[in-house]
Amino acid sequence: MISGDGFPVEPWQVRETDLELSRLAQTESLFALSNGHIGLRGNLDEGEPHGIPGTYLNSFYEVRPLPYAEAGFGYPEDGQTIVNITNGKVIRLLVDDEPFDVRYGDLLEHERVLDLRAGTLNRRARWRSPAGKQVQVTSTRLVSLTQRSVAAIEYTVEAVDEFALITVQSELVANEDLPDDSRDPRVSAVLRKPLEPLHHEVTEEGALLLHRTKLSKLSVAAAMDHLVEVPGRVEVDTIARENLARTTVLCGLRPGQRLRIVKYLAYGWSSLRSRPALQDQVAGALAGARYTGWEGLLGAQRDYLDEFWDCADVEVEGDPDSQQAVRFGLFHVLQASARAERRAIAGKGLTGPGYDGHAFWDTEGFVLPVLTYTMPGAAADALRWRASILDLARKRAEQLDLAGAAFPWRTIHGEECSAYWPAGTAAWHVNADIAMAFERYRTVTGDNSLDAECGLSVLVETARLWMSLGHHDRHGVWHLDGVTGPDEYTAVARDNVFTNLMAAANLRAAANTCTRHAEAAHAMGVTTEETAAWRDAADSANIPYDKELGVHPQCEGFTTLREWDFNSNAVYPLLLHEPYVRLYPAQVVKQPDLVLAMQWQSHAFNAQQKARNVDYYERRTVRDSSLSACTQAVMCAEVGHLELAHAYTKEAAMVDLRDLHTNTRDGLHMASLAGAWTALVGGFGGLRDDEHLLSLNPHLPEGISRLTFGLRWRNFRLRAVVDHSEVTYLLRDGPDGELTIRHAGDDL
């Protein structure tokens, strides 16, 4: 647990007031900085001690074989793992000849602050060396949201009580040693020295290292430059070797004098570009950073975030924990996506090696709704990435003897990397989740251009996949067999309600999109007979219902499975303590599968069904998935369990700030961070869009006195202000014309 006085609850920052080495790995994730292209874990400046070193570039990965005790046809042969690339964060300090290391001497003060408005990680330390000399060390780190390839660090050393000889060693380090692998499936495979050196050189103010992965053959360049300011004489020297470049700054400081170093970093990678081109790319990025200067980078960062918060901010009065947490979540969701630019948004973003750096359905299901309503350009880029791997999805479907396109359950580059069929390939719903994200983007933004650009192809090919997977029985009812819904503890089932409803929505959306883009659809070979078959399958999809209990079984027969003994089997997560042979035949739910169906396909259930379903599944859901709490918060709020919804909201919001799943060390949970917004705006704000309307129905729990949130809807910007007595909608700006809001079932 990350808690206590060392982490005060503050509305616009996450502050650590003392350093506990036992939680370094967790705080490295919390204090990570990223722009969607570069990711820097919040390691200490001096590099040691550390929990998990981490510097990442989006979609930079290495290939590794997937071992099987018993291989099967259609199993993926290779996995992909994110690579810890060249670390440019390291700035070592020696006072006289003694290294500044928090494990030695006396750490008199230590504070780190993640500033959510400035977009920086600030550190302040006062240290007394074993020889008794005191120094004050301050640093500010940023990953630029405006200059995609740039990160920068301002590092200052001040002598406190007597003269000191100061040596600073600023480094680029490749092929760092990493902690041992773990048996936890949520943790990544450890790659040992994955980078082959290609080139190294000393530049005018720094150095450059160029490497390549051994199997994926991706090349990466990392470069650093320095600005050095100090009173009196200073010596600066740089060396470069295959896996290390070091700029050494040597000076003497009297009490009160300061050494200031600004370190500019630039990163670039490619699978195609030549070595000179990559070198020129990072050299150009460094030139841009120097031209902008440190103060310019800080100002641009603040301006970017001011614009984001102006629309995206959520104000939660009466609940300071949720207030801090929702802003923390929004900040990291923004960091994961802002400059991803047609690359994947991974389940952990670029905050750690968890899940091997893979992207899942989490992106379209949980992260993109937030971006679509707050930063639609980033959502569009994420959807373009999905469309860019469509050919690989077609090949995967062909390999499995299916029509259309089968998008991967987990991937970095686009190939399927899931080695476990029941909780991977059989979770076909990822295809409908992607289709839903395209539909939501069009609905919320009013922008049809993305459909014409790439959405039509994705919708058509996913519709064709569903027709290949499903079948009509002799009574004309359409079924999907052998599927796994969001609940991975009930696998390879028949007629999973979530999957059937989502597939039906996918089929209808594809048919409607073909009507809007008739010529393009015709060019893809779509006929009126094919779209009619899509609509027929959607209309006749089987949605199981248990009349005796008055609830929807999660899948056919689910309510007849044996009940789980929660008293005797309650060591969580169950996937690490129970065999699947015990989980699959039981009514125990990893993630609220049917409950999520009621959120995303709200119109398919009436109020009584929602209430009964929520009550039934709440008792059977263990929430071993970090995706669970936000979904339960939304639906508990809708059916009137407001205090329970509030508890679930706080659980979703605190997954990483309190390390509730004990795996924050491996990176932050992007979907749950986004889920804090969803729980507040979708739960207590009542936001729904599945009927292609802006629908809101706010209700607050006792623990929240006022909720204020902003949304973008079809080029309008609006703000909702909710308290226990009234709801006010403020139209801030937008195009000419009327904006219709469905409030509590009535159009305004």
Structure tokens that stand for 425 in this block = 């390939």
Residue 568 CB-density burial (10 A; 0-12 exposed, 13-18 middle, 19+ buried): exposed
Inter-residue contact 444 to 368 (CB < 8 Å): no
d(CA 293, CA 299): 10
Residue 272, CA distances (Å) to 201, 218, 278, 415 in order: 22, 8, 10, 19
Active-site pick, 488, 618, 638, 651: 488
d(CA 585, CA 592): 17
Q: Round the CA-based radius of gyration of the chain to a whole number and report it.
A: 26
Q: Residues 227-256, buried b or exposed e (16+ Cβ, 10 A)?
A: ebebeeeeebebebebbbbbbbbbbbbeee
Instruction: Spell out the residues 6+ positions from residue 377 whose beta carbon is closer than 8 angstroms to its own.
Output: none
Residue showing tokens 């195009």: 735
d(CA 71, CA 727): 58
Count of other CB atoms within 10 angstroms of residue 162: 11
Q: 3-class DSSP state for residue 217?
A: coil
Query: What backbone phi and psi angles, to 5 degrees, belong to 132?
Result: 100, 5
- If DSSP states are collapsed to H, E and C, what string results for 88-111? CCCEEEEECCEECCCCCCEEEEEE
Which of 277, 215, 189, 221 has its CA nearest to residue 413? 215
d(CA 159, CA 132): 12
Inter-residue contact 438 to 450 (CB < 8 Å): yes
Count of other CB atoms within 10 angstroms of residue 188: 24
- Element at 522 (helix H, strand E): helix 518-523
Inter-residue contact 544 to 613 (CB < 8 Å): no
Residue 244's beta-bridge partner residues? 173
- Element at 288 (helix H, strand E): helix 275-312
Residue 169's beta-bridge partner residues? 92, 248
Q: Is 482 left (phi over 0), alpha (psi -120 to 50) or beta?
A: left
d(CA 27, CA 2): 9
Inter-residue contact 359 to 367 (CB < 8 Å): no
488 catalytic per annotation? yes
Show which residues are catalytic.
Answer: 488
